[in-house]
Amino acid sequence: MQQRQGYFKRRTLILLITFLYTLVVGIVVLNRFWQFEVFYYDQGLYDRSIWLVSRLQTPIIEHQGLGRVHQFADHFIPSVFLLFSPLYWVTSRYDITLIALSVYTGLSVLIGFEIARGLIKNRIMIYALLGAYMGYVGLQNALIFYIHPITAVLLPLQLLFLTLFRQQWRLFFPLLIMVLGFQETLAPLGVAIGLFMLLYRREWWKQALFVIIISLVYGYVATRIVMPSFSDKPYLYQPEWPVAREDYVKRFIDDPRKIDVIQYSLATFGWLPLFAPATWPFLLQDLFLRFVVSGGPPRWDLGLHYNAPLAVLLFVSAVLGYRFLEKRRWAGTKTSVLWSLGIVGIVLYLHQFVLHGPFALAYNPEFYRHTGRQGFMHEFLRAVPKEGVVMTQNNLAVFFTHEKDVHIINHYADILTIQPDLVVIDLRPGQNPNNFWPSTEGKLREAVSFLQTNSDYTEKYNKEDRYIFVYTSKINESTP
């Protein structure tokens, strides 16, 4: 008991920071969720599969390319189910996974502190690098993309590095399997961590070899055997290898967005990763997968979820970069203080004035007022009948992933094909175009016009460009 009290007493500041950061993440993520700024692709898709697994049912999802398929046909994510599905044994709240994501992300800061504390001495630099991790705009954007395997891996990945540096091999290897289990695309990261281990400590060569072998075998089995067995097709996310050799280098910097990712990422962490060459394999593999062999522009900037693992990798690299300087006495007290203040200044400047990080919503009063104005939308959703197959748009589908079988509408022809029991559409002007994706506002207006003249459907709700249509036979069945 005394040891436990001593632990908390010595870590009062970092525990307070962890709590406040968790609170900020939760405030931003949950308020955006309550404002309907959330989408089936990908929050609803993963929430649907997490919910079904919690009910011991097959996780069938609506996939844009593959159609109605098992979750493992898209991504192999057993660790996501392990981390989130048990939450639905306690509650059926749609936002419980977002609360958990906020807590897991906050705890990753505490684990990051333990990593840095074990490697470097300067406390000011430790907190500066933690500030860089928390304020990294790539991570901020990843978190407002809600539940995604690549975002959910933050805490396990930090724990993996903590057990590595502490040489706790009995914990390290199960954590490695867990990290790989968040998504099959993390297998190259496992290989890169093995290479890092070889470069960082040569006496770890046996463990490093095991890490590389495990990662290679896991990646092969997942993408060549397991996933094709669920889709009856080859692995969907095949790399697009360059034809010319020089493109393997050119593609790292052939677009201004890629250059911005590199320079803003390094600047956020005070360019310290440049002093940790042993970490370059796991930094380069992240950029290689996104810039050289990826499917296109969505991966080329600091948006979406793709930068979440990079935040952890940059943090670990920066800690080791400073360790290099500290061991050689190239970072005296004054230099370290100035460097730390510089990191904090850069993080704040990029967040507030250059990249406009979404955490700024947390101190914007209008953000909370907007949440309070959403009562009419909740009233709209309450008007939707409890049972039946529902077809709706991207941002509304998230609120039907538990009770109903959900289909995403693209064109009114989808209604003819599927014949859902319910069609729910919100066409209020001025909405985020992502609310309609993969459809458009114009296509959904065509769908409403079609339904209003189709005898198979009855208009149950029509208020301020919000519509609920019920399949006529469904009404007849419920009429005594």
Provide mean pLDDT across the span 164-183. 98
Confidence label for 472 from pLDDT (cuts 50, 70 and 90) = confident
Residue 339 has pLDDT above 60, yes or no: yes
In the chain, the largest separation of any two C-alpha atoms, in whole Å, equals 85
Interaxial angle between packed helices 187-200 and 154-165, expressed in degrees from 0 to 180 and rounded to the nearest 10: 20
Residue 295 has pLDDT above 80, yes or no: no
By percentage, how much of the chain surpasses pLDDT 90?
88
Rounded to the nearest integer, the mean pLDDT of the chain is: 94
Which class is 375-478 in CATH?
Answer: mainly alpha
Joined together, the tokens standing for residue 399 give 């609120």
By percentage, how much of the chain surpasses pLDDT 70?
97
List, edge to edge, every strand of the sheet that includes 390-392: 406-408, 390-392, 422-426, 466-471, 457-463
Please spell the DSSP secondary structure of 133-184, one letter per residue. HHH-HHHHHHHTT-S-HHHHTHHHHHHHHHHHHTT-HHHHHHHHHHHHTT-G
- Single-letter code of the amino acid located at 260: D
Cis check for the bond before 42: say yes or no (omega within 30 of 0).
yes
Confidence label for 480 from pLDDT (cuts 50, 70 and 90) = very low
Q: What's the CA gap between 256 and 122, in Å, rounded?
A: 36
Provide mean pLDDT across the span 370-389. 94
Task: Give the containing element (helix H, strand E) for 19.
Answer: helix 12-34
Provide mean pLDDT across the span 153-178. 98
Do residues 87 and 81 touch, judged by C-beta distance below 8 A? Answer: no
**Residue whose C-alpha is closest to residue 467's, from 432, 421, 428:** 428
Of residues 1 and 290, the one with the higher pLDDT is 290
Q: DSSP character for 222?
A: I
Provide mean pLDDT across the span 170-191. 98
Domain ranges of the chain: 12-363, 375-478
State the pLDDT at residue 441: 95
State the pLDDT at residue 332: 81
Residue 474 has pLDDT above 70, yes or no: no
- Single-letter code of the amino acid located at 49: S
Q: CA torsion sign, 127 to 131 to 6 to 169?
A: negative
Q: What is the pLDDT of residues 110-145, one digit of tens each?
A: 999 999 999 999 999 999 999 999 999 999 999 998
Q: Is 201 helix (H, G, I), strand (E, B) or coil?
A: coil
Backbone angles phi, psi at 223, to 5 degrees: -90, -25
State the pLDDT at residue 479: 45
Which range among 336-345, 351-360, 385-394 shows the weakest confidence by mean pLDDT? 385-394
Q: Please state whether 462 falls in left (phi above 0), alpha (psi between -120 and 50) or beta.
A: beta
Q: What is the pLDDT of residues 186-217, one digit of tens each?
A: 999 999 999 999 999 999 999 999 999 999 99
Residue 96 has pLDDT above 60, yes or no: yes
Q: Return all residues near 353 (Cβ < 8 A) that are at least 6 apart.
A: none
Q: What is the pLDDT of residues 14-69, one digit of tens each?
A: 999 999 999 999 999 999 999 999 999 989 999 999 999 999 999 999 888 888 99
Q: What's the CA gap between 269 and 319, in Å, rounded?
A: 9
Q: What's the CA gap between 132 and 11, in Å, rounded?
A: 19
State the pLDDT at residue 185: 96
Provide mean pLDDT across the span 273-283. 98
State the pLDDT at residue 218: 98
Angle (CA) 182-295-272 rounded to 5° is: 65
State the pLDDT at residue 136: 98
Confidence label for 315 from pLDDT (cuts 50, 70 and 90) = very high
State the pLDDT at residue 313: 98
Residue 297 has pLDDT above 90, yes or no: no
Q: What is the pLDDT of residues 349-364, one digit of tens each?
A: 999 999 999 999 999 9
Torsion of CA 6, 12, 132, 25, to 10 degrees: 120
Q: Return all residues near 291 (Cβ < 8 A) that are at least 6 apart.
A: 251, 252, 255, 258, 299, 300
State the pLDDT at residue 403: 80
State the pLDDT at residue 329: 82
State the pLDDT at residue 432: 92
